[in-house]
Chain A
Amino acid sequence: MDEITAGLSEIDCDVLVIGGGTAGPMAAYKAKMKNPDAKVVLLEKANVKRSGAISMGMDGLNNAVIPGHSTPEQYTKEITIANDGIVDQAAVLKYAENCFEMIQELDRFGIRFQKDENGDYDVKKVHHMGTYVLPMPNGETVKKALYRQLRRARILISNRYMATRLLTGKSGRIAGAIAVNTRTAEFLVVRAKSVIMSMGAAGRLGLPTSGYLFGTYENAANSGEGYAMAYHAGAKLANLECFQINPLIKDYNGPACAYVAGPFGGYTANANGERFIECDYWSGQMMQEFYKELQSGNGPVFLRLNHLKKETADHIEQILHTVERPSRGRFHEQRGTRYAETMIEMHISEIGFCSGHSASGVFVDEFARTTVPGLYAAGDMASVPHNYMLGAFTNGAIAGEHAIDFIRDVDFDDYDRADVLAEQERVLAPTKREDGIPPNQIEYKVRRLVNDYLQPPKVTKKYELAQQRFAEVRADMEEAMVARDSHELMRAMEVASILDCADMAACASLYRQESRWGLYHWRTDFAERNDEDWKCHVLLGKQEDGTMGCEKRAIQPYVIPISDDEKDAYYKQRITAKA
């Protein structure tokens, strides 16, 4: 295994889905259900059985809009406010209207959701305003249940193929993708009438404080290929300056999960054991207060459960240590920390792109369409904000069904053969060198620079220095990176995506000359929010001269109005002195 063979084969399909985590399998399944005659191919860099952000499962839904508990209109309003007004509401509203049906479908797949003694969904309040969090008692079965449906629907699955570039056709439509096998370096050219990208977050952008390259908040396999490929194919990306930064368990780098602990009475505390934020729902505004407390004399910050009854704390521990990130129990065991006994030190994550938690993604509309005809995006890499796992399922389904409508009237678009040859040459270049710089060193350097210069607070001069340093590393990567086997070649291709994402993060952040989304885009030299000039999307894309550029794009008029006294609700996070 791992020798470089570098052959090439070609296949055709109607709908190509790239990424077999959460949104991808659902997109493939729904496309096939809508048209059983369509040839649907699902491409995955790892193995669909255990890939993506929910590799081991998920302990709950963070954004369930369930009749009797909340309405699509309430949810759309809450997310508009949480995302500081920069929202095309049509996409959020469409998600909110469709997600209950998706919950019921997942229920039929065998994924159970918590119900109360009356048989109603046991939804918990964690957000600032509404009630949307639904625990999943058998959340570890999600991938298994999903995989069973894919097999039943006879979806064609190609594991261990890493897509590296999209192919665009002569008429401007999407034409397919090029992928490389991660164990043989063989190329696969997939001609497709429509392509759905569901390739997850850009999780390997910043470097975790542990210094371990793969100790990231996101599944470390999610290295931002989707963002890079969309960019190179000419699609627009939205609000990349709205970074993902999450609170997490210090060093372990897994979620601290106030969502799980909150409904039982757990909370985020400072070193004195005191609550300092009203609401533990993750938003940039909340993260700003978290960051302030971390830096203050009351820091660092802790997850506090040790005031609860021992049975309650142990029960929370049992959930957190078995479902989403089960190795966390092992981490605490080695440290000798029990939730019932001590407060657990927390920290903030490295930066990344992930619309699932923030808003940075490939720009899509309410049908998951990107700006390239025939190309769709769903899940953590698409720009629908605060979308989480249920958003990936729901919008994956929307993409799959819409792609079937799209292909009805189109044939394959012809791509240029020279594009395939050029891509083969680019991919294989590191294998042609006898010695040079291995991918892990280039990756470490890029990500260390990301931490040094891009991590908020954002400073203009530091960002300009970052751009210079990224250009130097890019020259090293293009001229001297060496890959000695196909596994290392996969890492080499990932580094190229990581560097593209770093450049995009810098470019988009410099363009938006204001501060917004709390910590996510806190510019110390443009410290105020400026609605007059910047209450708009920032779209990043490849310009005609081949360079990276940004433009403003107006927000669609709100369908759900937000009144003046509501719009800043998420800025009122800090607990003020009690009378």
Chain B
Amino acid sequence: MPLANTSTSVPVIVDEDKCIADKGCTVCVDVCPLDVLRISELTGKAYMKFDECWYCMPCEADCPTGAVTVNIPYLLK
């Protein structure tokens, strides 16, 4: 069965002006229990790659620059 790409709106937002992933920071990626964040090869900034969020907030709480915001996934809110 061939695969399709279906779009989904993700709950975790990263403020790219504040994010220092391009300087080597990986805190949010490291702490996520579901391992859904990655550093973009294009922008060097963190982003939510997989829409598999428990909205538990370590990424936001542990971010050293306050760049990460966790929203409630659309299906729940």
In addition to A47-B31, A49-B31, A221-B54, 9 A-B residue pairs with Cβ atoms within 8 Å of each other are A50-B31, A56-B58, A210-B75, A212-B73, A220-B34, A253-B76, A334-B72, A435-B1, A487-B49
Q: A212-B76, A437-B1, A438-B3 are in contact. Are A330 and B71 (CB under 8 A)?
A: yes
Answer whether residue A394 sits at the interface, using C-beta atoms and an 8 A cutoff.
no
**B57 touches which of A52, A327, A334 (Cβ 8 Å):** A327
**B53 touches which of A211, A214, A438 (Cβ 8 Å):** A214
Q: Across the interface, do B77 and A331 meet the contact criterion of CB distance under 8 Å?
A: yes
Q: Across the interface, do B30 and A47 meet the contact criterion of CB distance under 8 Å?
A: yes
Of residues 41 through 77 on chain B, the ones whose CB sits less than 8 Å from some CB of chain A are 49-50, 52-58, 61-62, 70-73, 75-77
Q: Which residues from B are CB-within-8-Å of A220?
A: 33-34, 52, 54
Q: Which residues from A are CB-within-8-Å of B30?
A: 47, 49
**B56 touches which of A47, A49, A56, A435 (Cβ 8 Å):** A56
B 1-31 to A, binary, CB cutoff 8 A, 1 in contact else 0: 1110000000000000000000000000011
Q: Which residues from A are CB-within-8-Å of B72?
A: 252, 327, 330-331, 334
Cα separation A487 to B29 with both chains bound (whole Å): 13
Closest Cβ–Cβ distance, residue B15 to chain A (whole Å): 17
Which A-B residue pairs are the 7 nearest by beta carbons? A50-B58, A212-B75, A50-B31, A327-B55, A46-B33, A221-B33, A220-B54
Of all chain B residues, the one with the shortest Cβ separation from A203 is B54
Cα separation A47 to B62 with both chains bound (whole Å): 13
Closest Cβ–Cβ distance, residue A163 to chain B (whole Å): 15
Q: Across the interface, do B75 and A215 meet the contact criterion of CB distance under 8 Å?
A: yes
Cα separation A52 to B34 with both chains bound (whole Å): 10
Q: Which residues from A are CB-within-8-Å of B75?
A: 210-212, 215
Query: Main secondary structure on chain A at its contact with chain B?
Result: loop
Q: Which residues from B are CB-within-8-Å of A482?
A: 3
Cα separation A358 to B28 with both chains bound (whole Å): 33
Answer whether residue A561 sits at the interface, using C-beta atoms and an 8 A cutoff.
no
Q: Across the interface, do B76 and A46 meet the contact criterion of CB distance under 8 Å?
A: no
Q: Across the interface, do A50 and B62 meet the contact criterion of CB distance under 8 Å?
A: yes
Q: Which residues from B are CB-within-8-Å of A160?
A: 35
Cα separation A219 to B56 with both chains bound (whole Å): 8
Query: Which B residues are closer than 8 A to A by beta carbons?
Result: 1-3, 30-35, 38, 49-50, 52-58, 61-62, 70-73, 75-77
Pull 25 A–B residue pairs with CB atoms less than 8 Å apart, ordered by A. A1-B38, A46-B34, A49-B58, A50-B31, A50-B62, A52-B33, A56-B56, A56-B58, A210-B76, A211-B75, A212-B75, A212-B76, A214-B34, A214-B52, A215-B76, A219-B33, A219-B56, A220-B33, A220-B34, A221-B34, A327-B57, A334-B72, A435-B3, A436-B1, A437-B1
Q: Across the interface, do A46 and B71 meet the contact criterion of CB distance under 8 Å?
A: no
Q: Across the interface, do B55 and A487 meet the contact criterion of CB distance under 8 Å?
A: no
Q: Which residues from B are CB-within-8-Å of A213?
A: 52
Cα separation A227 to B23 with both chains bound (whole Å): 41
Answer whether residue A216 sits at the interface, using C-beta atoms and an 8 A cutoff.
yes
Query: Main secondary structure on chain B at its contact with chain A?
Result: loop
Q: Across the interface, do A327 and B52 meet the contact criterion of CB distance under 8 Å?
A: no
Answer whether residue A32 sits at the interface, using C-beta atoms and an 8 A cutoff.
no
**A487 touches which of B2, B31, B50, B77 (Cβ 8 Å):** B50
Interface size, A (range):
35 or more
Of all chain B residues, the one with the shortest Cβ separation from A140 is B61
A 196-219 to B, binary, CB cutoff 8 A, 1 in contact else 0: 000000000000001111111001
Q: A210-B76, A330-B71, A438-B3 are in contact. Are A219 and B35 (CB under 8 A)?
A: no
Q: A56-B61, A210-B76, A251-B76 are in contact. Are A219 and B54 (CB under 8 A)?
A: yes
Answer whether residue A55 sits at the interface, using C-beta atoms and an 8 A cutoff.
yes
Answer whether residue A326 sits at the interface, using C-beta atoms and an 8 A cutoff.
yes
Answer whether residue A480 sits at the interface, using C-beta atoms and an 8 A cutoff.
yes
Q: Which residues from A are CB-within-8-Å of B35?
A: 46, 160, 182-183, 487, 490
Q: Which residues from A are CB-within-8-Å of B76?
A: 210, 212, 215, 251-253, 331
Cα separation A312 to B32 with both chains bound (whole Å): 34
Q: Across the interface, do B31 and A327 meet the contact criterion of CB distance under 8 Å?
A: no
Closest Cβ–Cβ distance, residue B58 to chain A (whole Å): 4
Closest Cβ–Cβ distance, residue B28 to chain A (whole Å): 10
Of residues 1 through 58 on chain A, the ones whose CB sits less than 8 Å from some CB of chain B are 1-2, 46-47, 49-52, 55-56
Cα separation A46 to B30 with both chains bound (whole Å): 8
Of all chain A residues, the one with the shortest Cβ separation from B30 is A47
Q: Which residues from A are CB-within-8-Å of B31?
A: 47, 49-50
Of all chain B residues, the one with the shortest Cβ separation from A486 is B35
Cα separation A51 to B30 with both chains bound (whole Å): 11
Answer whether residue A304 sits at the interface, using C-beta atoms and an 8 A cutoff.
no
Answer whether residue A193 sits at the interface, using C-beta atoms and an 8 A cutoff.
no
Q: Across the interface, do B1 and A327 meet the contact criterion of CB distance under 8 Å?
A: no
Of residues 421 through 455 on chain A, the ones whose CB sits less than 8 Å from some CB of chain B are 435-438
Q: Across the interface, do B1 and A215 meet the contact criterion of CB distance under 8 Å?
A: no
Q: Across the interface, do B33 and A55 meet the contact criterion of CB distance under 8 Å?
A: yes
Q: A50-B62, A160-B35, A221-B33 are in contact. Are A325 and B56 (CB under 8 A)?
A: yes
